[in-house]
Chains A and B, each alone.
Chain A
Amino acid sequence: MPDFDASEMQARFDARIGAEERIEPKDWMPDAYRRNLIRQMSQHAHSEVIGMQPEGNWISRAPTLKRKAILLAKVQDEAGHGLYLYSATETLGATRESLVDALHESRAKYASIFNYPSLTWADVGAIGWLVDGAAIVNQISLQRTSYGPYARAMVRICKEESFHMRQGYEIMLTLCRGSNDQRAMAQDALDRWWWPSLMMFGPHDAESAHSAQSMQWKLKRQSNDELRQKFVDQTVPQAEYLGIRIPDPKLRLDAATGHYAFGEIDWREFQRVVSGDGPCNRERLAHHVRAHDDGAWVREAAHAYQAKRAARDRVEAAS
């Protein structure tokens, strides 16, 4: 193991970041970079997994067999994304158990958007269209993140994610072209999911504790506000096409910039929900804890079985 000088390693690390080179698991990295990465990746993973709950709610009640199959495949993909991201986090030496514990003890967060309830079938459409739409904007940006395994997980996820948004939008389109009840259902879902979707991009960058450091290390490639603007710009025409109204009286196209200006987010609601006081925070976490606890005997059984088999194999090999 070569004798190294920490400041030399730091200089080399900084140079690699500057040169847009990827940092890989066995590479030297500052402790703070490692910690930041573990936090960011694991929270991303937790979000995918918790997100299975509001959508998973509707699998048993999907209105057609095709929609049932599609929704099941989509939620399964979310589980897969969680797995890719936990995998990537584990390359940094964090164990899966420790990450799950952090979630259960509320030391780690997950995307606050999933603390809202999915109340109608239209919510399934809105979540696919808006929440996945917002996630894609974020994830495309993260494909260029500096940590190799994270970037590769993002590439894989982005490939799979495109169908998620499309299925959501297709649901909304069908509803908006349907009966009065269906159109009202779609409008109601947009009314409830619009602002939380904008909040997904986080606070204004000046107010974000981690933003500046994450940008410096190229873990984060674009600012929260930049990404939020991108999302708004792409989504407003989509809503117009559907013929439903975005619940923001201040929304208007600024002809000079080509961007949509929009109203201020209710940051008190954002804070409330992020700090645990949203409609579903307790249920989401309790659900995850319960599933994990209920599964303990299963995991123990699999382990015990393997231990028995290994012992039998050793005995056979010896005889």
Chain B
Amino acid sequence: MSTGASSDLCAYSIALGDDALILGQRLAEWVSNAPSLEEELALANVALDHIGRARMFYGHAAAVAADGRDEDTIAFGRDTRTFTNLLINELPRGDFAFTMVRQFLVDAFNVPFLAALAGSNEPTLAAIGEKALKESTYHLRRSRDWVQRLGDGTQESHDRAQRAADELWGYTRELFEPFAAEARLTTGGVTADRAALQPLWRQQVAATFDEATLRIPEDAWSIRGGRDGVHTEHLGYLLAEMQFMQRAYPGQRW
């Protein structure tokens, strides 16, 4: 592999790892805060799946870079400006409606995306894609069910779900914007074109929202910048908490 291609692959794997880790971190915040004990276990499973996925992507990036980094150097050693997750993942968990609507929007993207990734000509990415696809298929089933329950539940749950959709909508545009390294990898058959996933995603979301008596928000605004390290103000706090131990006691084994 050329240095250019391998550095693209490394950057791409890190970006996908960042998406998964940051979302996993937000999901894990529900521990001891969930609306029922059954839901505690369910949310923890989704969080664990995302953290596991992040470790796989980071592990692959480290292997490709072969510069002495490992999954923890990648996760705990970077500041906000070099984290490349999409912004939708870093938003605070909010109420249960916000978490589940966000999860649904992300899951509805992840399923076709991972299905495409499973067809990658890069064997490790293909393997990660395949495993993650099984998980995300289940996540989507759950999050879609919850969007329906909340949208078509009580007036209060409906209002909260609609508010969540309205607050999240502008962050979904970024899901379909490939960054430069990603575009090159797409040409090389390593990954699928994420822009091409938008129509199907729109359809799926529209169908679910409709069933849930929720309104699709206007495409009036969008906020992006995650892949360039231009984040919301939330990420700094998240990383400060997440990275504290490694920063306070650098270079130790845990």
Contact = CB atoms under 8 A, between A and B. Distances in A.
Q: Do chains A and B touch in the complex (CB under 8 A)?
A: yes
A68 interface: yes
Contacts of B254: 63-64, 67, 121, 171, 174-175
B162 interface: no
The size class of the interface chain B forms with chain A is: 35 or more
Nearest to A308: B152
Interface in B49-71: 51-52, 54-55, 58, 71
B36 interface: yes
A300 B52 contact: no
A56 B31 contact: yes
B249 interface: yes
B245 A295 contact: no
B75 interface: yes
Contacts of B198: none
Contacts of A82: 37
Nearest to B74: A65
B142 interface: no
Contacts of A174: 253-254
Interface string B239-254: 0011011100100111
B96 A298 contact: yes
Interface stretch (A11-19, A140-148, A176-184, A243-251): A176-184
Kindly name the residue among B32, B75, B76, B246 whose own CB sees the greatest number of chain A CB atoms within 10 A: B32
Contact of B32 (A63, A64, A177, A287): A287
Interface string A269-294: 00000000000000000011001001
A69 B55 contact: yes
A301 interface: yes
Interface residues of A, number: 49
B25 A60 contact: yes
A301 B157 CA distance: 6
B36 A52 contact: no
A181 B72 CA distance: 20
Contacts of B156: 297, 300-301
Interface stretch (A22-30, A70-78, A202-210): A70-78
Contacts of A52: 31-32, 40
Contacts of B40: 52, 76, 79
B249 A179 contact: yes
B168 interface: no
B150 interface: yes
A163 interface: no
Contacts of B58: 65
A68 B40 CA distance: 16
B160 A297 contact: yes
B33 A69 contact: no
A83 B241 contact: no
Contacts of B160: 297
A291 B157 contact: no
Kindly name the residue among A72, A178, A299, A303 whose own CB sees the greatest number of chain B CB atoms within 10 A: A72
Contacts of A60: 25, 28-29, 241-242
B31 A299 contact: no
Contact of B149 (A79, A121, A288, A302): A302
A72 B37 contact: no
Contacts of B25: 60
B252 A179 contact: yes
A288 B40 CA distance: 13
Contact of A72 (B38, B39, B47): B47
Contacts of B28: 59-60, 68, 72
A178 B95 CA distance: 40
Contact of A79 (B29, B37, B157, B245): B37
Nearest to B35: A295
B45 interface: yes
Contacts of B244: 61
Contacts of A62: 245
A310 interface: no
B55 A299 contact: no
* 4 A-B pairs with least C-beta separation: A295-B35, A301-B153, A301-B157, A63-B245
21 contacts: A49-B37, A52-B31, A56-B31, A59-B31, A60-B28, A61-B245, A63-B76, A65-B58, A69-B55, A72-B28, A72-B47, A76-B44, A83-B38, A121-B245, A179-B252, A287-B32, A298-B96, A300-B157, A302-B153, A304-B154, A305-B153
Interface of A: 49, 52-53, 56, 59-69, 72-73, 75-76, 79-80, 82-83, 86, 121, 171, 174-175, 177-179, 181-182, 287-288, 291, 294-305, 308
Interface of B: 21, 25, 28-29, 31-41, 44-45, 47-48, 51-52, 54-55, 58, 71-72, 75-76, 95-96, 148-150, 152-154, 156-157, 160, 241-242, 244-246, 249, 252-254
